[in-house]
A and B are shown apart, each in its own frame.
Chain A
Amino acid sequence: GALVYQYPRRTICKSGTSMRMECQAVGFQATSVAWYRQSPQKTFELIALSTVNSAIKYEQNFTQEKFPISHPNLSFSSMTVLNAYLEDRGLYLCGATGAQDTQYFGPGTRLLVL
């Protein structure tokens, strides 16, 4: 079956430092990978959408300079949160879209910033 792995599951970083998170699609080819952030008490904010053979599209309020993404192949994507601060804390979800537009989510990377 289709699975999406994310690593790490939980991370704590000091304010002003950076951390990298990874997303791996297993059992299917992900035609696109979307990164979302779910902040406490909030719904999902789309950070960026990465489609194979297309440029990565960032949503308003999110930039490549802050959240650089690498999507080298159909099964792997990584995103870095640069200079993390308190407002960056939350659950970062990777959604990989396979056939028939079904989007599967990984378990998420929970970021805590001290």
Chain B
Amino acid sequence: QQQVRQSPQSLTVWEGETAILNCSYEDSTFDYFPWYWQFPRESPALLIAIRPVSNKKEDGRFTIFFNKREKKLSLHITDSQPGDSATYFCAASARTGANTGKLTFGHGTILRVHP
């Protein structure tokens, strides 16, 4: 059973548009949700993260919207730039002692931003 799901699998937007990447999860004990982005031939880098105490986290053009009741979250990238083209991974973890530091990843969304 896939614990963290992402959609769409791939997304293409024009420069300046808003890209919306979706993520949902199964385990209600998850309480930390980082998004990573990964460029070709590089390792993933932390982009932005949220905890359930908030339903929104903003960092520049990147915003996470979080719906705890529906176990869904989304990453919005406003004014998309060609340099935002990458694979975006939604991840989740639970701070329950033994599971601290164990991230469960989705399969990723490939974002392409056309100039």
Q: Note whether A and B form a binding pair.
A: yes
List A residues at the B interface (Cβ < 8 Å).
31-34, 36, 42-44, 46, 49, 51, 54, 57, 91, 93, 95, 97, 101-108
In the complex, which residues of chain A have a beta carbon less than 8 angstroms from the beta carbon of B42? 107
In the complex, which residues of chain A have a beta carbon less than 8 angstroms from the beta carbon of B105? 43-44
Query: Is there contact, CB below 8 Å, between A93 and B101?
Result: no
Q: Which residue of A lies closest to B108 (CB)?
A: A43
B1 on the A face (CB < 8 A): no
CB within 8 A of B102: which of A31, A34, A106? Answer: A34
Query: Is there contact, CB below 8 Å, between A101 and B100?
Result: yes
Q: Which of A36, A43, A46, A107 has the most CB of B within 10 A?
A: A43
Contact with A along B6-47 (1 / 0, CB 8 A): 000000000000000000000000001010100000111110
Complex Cα spacing A72 to B23, Å: 36
**Interface size in chain B (residues, C-beta < 8 A):** 23
Could you list 20 examples of A-B contacts with CB < 8 Å? A31-B100, A32-B100, A32-B101, A33-B101, A34-B101, A34-B102, A43-B108, A46-B102, A46-B103, A49-B102, A51-B101, A93-B44, A95-B103, A97-B100, A102-B46, A102-B49, A103-B103, A105-B44, A106-B43, A108-B43
Give the Cβ gap from B107 to chain A, nearest Cβ, in Å.
5
Do most interface residues of chain A lie in helix, strand or loop, or is the interface mixed?
A: strand
Q: Which of B42, B102, B106, B108 has the most CB of A within 10 A?
A: B102
Query: Is there contact, CB below 8 Å, between B43 and A93?
Result: yes
Give the Cβ gap from A80 to chain B, nearest Cβ, in Å.
20
Query: Is there contact, CB below 8 Å, between B98 and A54?
Result: yes
CB within 8 A of B89: which of A32, A44, A57, A106? Answer: A44
Q: Which residue of A lies closest to B94 (CB)?
A: A101
Contact with A along B57-96 (1 / 0, CB 8 A): 0000000000000000000000000000000010001010
